[in-house]
Amino acid sequence: MNRNHRMLPYIAACITSTIFGLSFLFSKMALRVAGPLSLVALRFLLAFIIMTLLVIFKVIKVDYRNKPIGQLILLGLSEPVVYFIFETYGIKNASSSMAGLMLSLIPIAVTILEIYFLKEIPSTKSVLFIVLSVSGVALIGVMSSTSGQENSPLGILLLLGAIISAGFYSIISRKTSVHFKPVETTYFMMAMAAVCFNIMAAVDLFLKGKINEYFQPLKSSTFIISILYLGIISSILAYFLSNFTLSKIQASKSAVFANLSTIVSVVAGVLILKESFHIYHLIGAVMILTGVWGANKFNS
């Protein structure tokens, strides 16, 4: 494999982190119009419809015959389904600083699970750089918080569930890459998320007597713009690139790239939302970038 091919997974990981970093901005815009459950339901419904059309018109090809579908079911359950449920309601019941601190631990969880399930042992230097990157995210998350919201045990427990589910996603995606192409994995994930979240959203609105408002958010141009980004770019493209990366490099090395999304979200907030920029943002960014570089520099 030449140098250009070796660099592809790392380029894909950087693009994925950039996409996910900007998704926070579009999510904020969409949540002004719709609730969290409706947002994720319509997001993944759009993603599933788009990918189905691509399959029908043979732009992409998927073939699940004689393959271990059970692995994909576990993958889709771990993320997006379980992860988004835990993350959404965990953030709702915890302060933003606690949420940022807890979710920054995902690369650590991936590293631990990777050693146990995949027998891929990162070097000591690599682990230290992963910790450095996580610390940079935690610094920005804690220092940026101005919320007086208390942290309930339920919120912390839900965020822990999000960490574990994201960790298992990385491990299972790497294992499924033996049998499935990244596009097959991504399509199955979009299908599972679309079915699960739309059932949940429909039941929620029905119990509230608002089932007729199911597609009401689509009347907003702001929501449409947001959902196009979240459904096509942040779901289809980002998860495809994530699955591609995990099929090529260690899960722990891939997971640490997720911390780059913090830098992207900070830059987007400063440039687009006119949020303030402080010295701790710069220090945290340097820690994150150094950690990502070091974690991928030193071999297992």
Give the other-Cβ count within 10 Å of 67's Cβ: 14
Q: Which amino acid is at 191?
A: A
The C-alpha angle with vertex 63 and arms to 79 and 187, in degrees rounded to 5, equals 30
pLDDT for 103 equals 80
pLDDT for 164 equals 95
The C-alpha angle with vertex 288 and arms to 144 and 123, in degrees rounded to 5, equals 140
pLDDT for 209 equals 94
pLDDT for 3 equals 66
pLDDT for 92 equals 75
Tokens of 230: 């979240």
The model's pTM: 0.91
pLDDT for 142 equals 76
Look-up of token digits 């007597």: 209
pLDDT for 265 equals 83
pLDDT for 97 equals 63
Helix boundaries (H) for the chain: 3-30, 36-56, 69-76, 83-92, 96-103, 106-113, 124-144, 153-176, 182-207, 221-228, 238-246, 251-256, 260-271, 279-297
Question: What does the pLDDT profile of the chain (300 residues) look like in tens digits?
Answer: 566 678 999 999 999 999 998 888 898 889 889 988 999 999 999 999 999 999 999 999 999 999 999 999 999 999 999 999 998 888 777 766 677 678 888 999 999 999 989 988 888 999 999 999 999 988 887 787 654 555 678 888 998 999 999 999 999 999 999 999 999 999 999 999 999 999 999 999 999 999 999 999 999 999 999 999 999 999 999 999 999 999 999 999 999 998 898 888 888 888 887 878 889 889 999 999 999 999 988 855
Q: Which amino acid is at 156?
A: I
